[in-house]
Structure 1
Amino acid sequence: MSHPSSFAIDLPTGLVQRAQRGEASAFEQIYRRFERPVFTLALRLTGEREEAQDVLQDTMLKLFDRIGEFRAESPFWGWLRQIAVNEALMRLRKRNRLPATEDADEAELESHDVMLPPAAADAALLGQALAKLPDATRSVLWLYHAEGYTHDEIAGLMGKTASFSKSQLARGTRRLRDLLRIDSEVHSHA
């Protein structure tokens, strides 16, 4: 059920090279194409619009600073997404909102335990439900389901173990199911 990342945008040939040469119009085109995926990712990870706006600005500033470092062997969108994820997680860390301790309950997961419920297809409901989760849990869920990161990759990004990522995913999926079940029942009776 893994969706392609919303970042998976193909850029016109030569656009990145033009930006690397410092062409303002090339940067502007890259910004316009990636503004929404970066903002959405930041909003899902931080849970706050204002903070997501800051992450978007910081990500794009870093992009301007570092575009010279980009090497074309990997897709550009993957490289930019990495910057955005790091920026968002850094903000959570600054506010001490990522738990410092390892999560002890190592949940052995059945694959159906980590499938999102059908109501998750409703973006508004999903957004409301995700906002109720703890930051680390929400971040893991989004990186895993929406962005297709593996548990090892998430562990690396968050400075945790893969088992931390797995248990957050299991816990978050269960909680999200409960929240979405309640929400969709409320909506269906309305």
Structure 2
Amino acid sequence: MTDVSHPSSFAIDVPAALVDRARRGDAGAFEQLYRLFERPVFTLALRLTGDREEAQDLLQDTMLKLFDRVGEFRGDSPFWGWLRQIAVNDALMRLRRRGRLPQTEEAVDAELECHDVMLPAAAADAALLTRALGRMADATRSVLWLYHAEGYTHDEIAGLMGRTPSFSKSQLARGTRKLRELLKIEQELSHA
């Protein structure tokens, strides 16, 4: 993965001793790991699925997998990257099982005018951003989040989603246009 200017919320230094304690089954170590990663896992799951209940289920599933698989962590990469990969795989698998991942924004984009405008100042407002992301197709929202927030490359996203890098690039471009439009609409509604 390439370096990004905005590191993932998962980028938490985890002492090797804490991971070793978890490998030995230390309940306190698991509790510490849960507390460290509860928010990043939930946020990632929410952004990929667009559903709070589903995100909560994914948080629990990911943490159970951490408990079951911590012995598989080899230490050749940061612990946070290993756990993030479990969370991403779980979220995308859930979307695939529900038949939600293949959906794209092509039809919706045809209805939107394409404006080359800067993101409105309201984009910084988390509530507006959450609502706008919630109105996007799962595949598009997932590509946007994985690329911008988690720092995945188009090749990595393509591999995760079982698609091509051009699929990732097109979803990112379409999603960016749609996000600009949705944020503009949300901003206008909040000022009305």
Partner of 2:32: 29
Letter in 2 for 1:150: T
Partner of 1:6: 9
Distance (Å, rounded) in 2 between the aligned partners of 1:186 and 1:94? 35
Q: C-alpha deviations, 1:8-29, integer Å up to 9, x for none?
A: 1112341011101110000000
Distance (Å, rounded) in 2 between the aligned partners of 1:135 and 1:22? 36
Letter in 2 for 1:83: I
Residues 103 and 137, structure 2, Cα contact 8 Å, conserved in 1:
no
Could you say what secondary structure the match of 1:14 adopts?
A: helix
Identity %: 80
Unaligned stretches of 5+ residues in structure 2: 107-115
Distance (Å, rounded) in 2 between the aligned partners of 1:122 and 1:17? 40
Instruction: For 1:2-151, list aligned pairs within 5 A.
Output: 2-99=5-102, 118-151=121-154
Residues 103 and 138, structure 2, Cα contact 8 Å, conserved in 1:
no
Q: Shift in Å at residue 85 of structure 1?
A: 0.2
TM-score (norm 1): 0.88
1:175 equivalent to 2:181? Answer: no
Where does structure 1 differ by over 2 angstroms across 4 or more consecutive aligned residues? 115-121
Distance (Å, rounded) in 1 between the aligned partners of 2:189 and 2:96? 35
Partner of residue 156 from structure 1, selected from 155, 159, 173: 159
Instruction: Name the stretch that deviates more: 92-101 or 125-134.
Output: 92-101
Distance (Å, rounded) in 2 between the aligned partners of 1:119 and 1:135? 23
Q: C-alpha deviations, 1:11-54, integer Å up to 9, x for none?
A: 23410111011100000000011000000000000000110011
Q: Aligned residue pairs: how many?
A: 178
Distance (Å, rounded) in 2 between the aligned partners of 1:117 and 1:2? 21
Unaligned stretches of 5+ residues in structure 1: 104-112
Distance (Å, rounded) in 2 between the aligned partners of 1:11 and 1:74? 12
Letter in 2 for 1:42: A
Q: Shift in Å at residue 116 of structure 1?
A: 5.8
From the superposition, tell whether residues 163 and 134 of structure 1 become closer, same or farther in structure 2 (CA, over 3 Å).
same
TM-score (norm 2): 0.87
